[in-house]
Amino acid sequence: MARRYRGDFIGDVIKIMEQILSLVLPSTVQTLQMVFFSTVFALLVGFPLGVLLSITNPYGITPKPVFNLILSRIIDVFRSFPFVILMIVLLPFTRFVLGTSIGTTATIIPLSIAAAPFVARITETALNEVDPGMIQAARAMGSTNWQIIYKVLIPEALPSVVSGITLTVITLVSYSAMAGTLGGGGLGDLAIRYGYQRFRTGVMVVSVIVIIIMVALIQLVGTKIANKMMSKR
């Protein structure tokens, strides 16, 4: 009797875990998609903006104070928006571009716009920390501004940029979870709809554990890449 009860109990636990995993796995894939594509788009926009901010500041290699001030203020405006409010503000734009304002794909737009200013500031700070002596040495050898940018500034700043982008990706993981409050899909949406609203604590716990593991792995990989770059300098 005890064995049969134990067997039934184990069978029920396995069945519950299978149900939870059938919900968590697709949501994990959605979160990874949101974070990956928004990181790519944020880099495509934010990295060039960061380079522009660095080289056009009053102490940059091509000082343009007025342009730098305007660009800096625009970036600060986008940085100042809390992510949930930014998502709401961008709902009409997202709906216009994609035809919908909910779902995984729709969430990529506000995630990218939220992350790009952070990437820009991270890149700017990393480039500004490059030793001025290296820039002067490159100028003495006849290097053009473009050559200084891609042969001196970017290679020297890359480890710091990678470390900063690692933090940005982790922030995007948390932002993607917040997006679940507005039907953005992913683990955040799963935790709210199934874990909180339907009182399925197991779903919420597993979702949180997956997010923690995801963040730890991103930090581990980012740190290893940055350290490897540092060792090659």
Domains (range + CATH), the chain? 16-232 (1.10.3720.10)
Q: Which helix (H) or strand (E) holds 232?
A: helix 201-232
Q: What is the pLDDT of residue 165?
A: 93
Enter the tokens of residue 59.
Answer: 């102490």
Residue 168's contacts (CB-CB under 8 Å, 6 or more residues apart) are 39, 42, 115, 118, 119, 122
Q: What is the pLDDT of residue 168?
A: 92
Residue 40's contacts (CB-CB under 8 Å, 6 or more residues apart) are none
Q: What is the mean pLDDT of each run of 10 residues along the chain (233 residues)?
A: 53 64 81 92 94 90 91 90 85 83 83 93 91 86 86 89 92 85 76 69 82 92 88 71
Q: What is the pLDDT of residue 233?
A: 65
- The span from the CA of 145 to the CA of 28, in Å, is 44
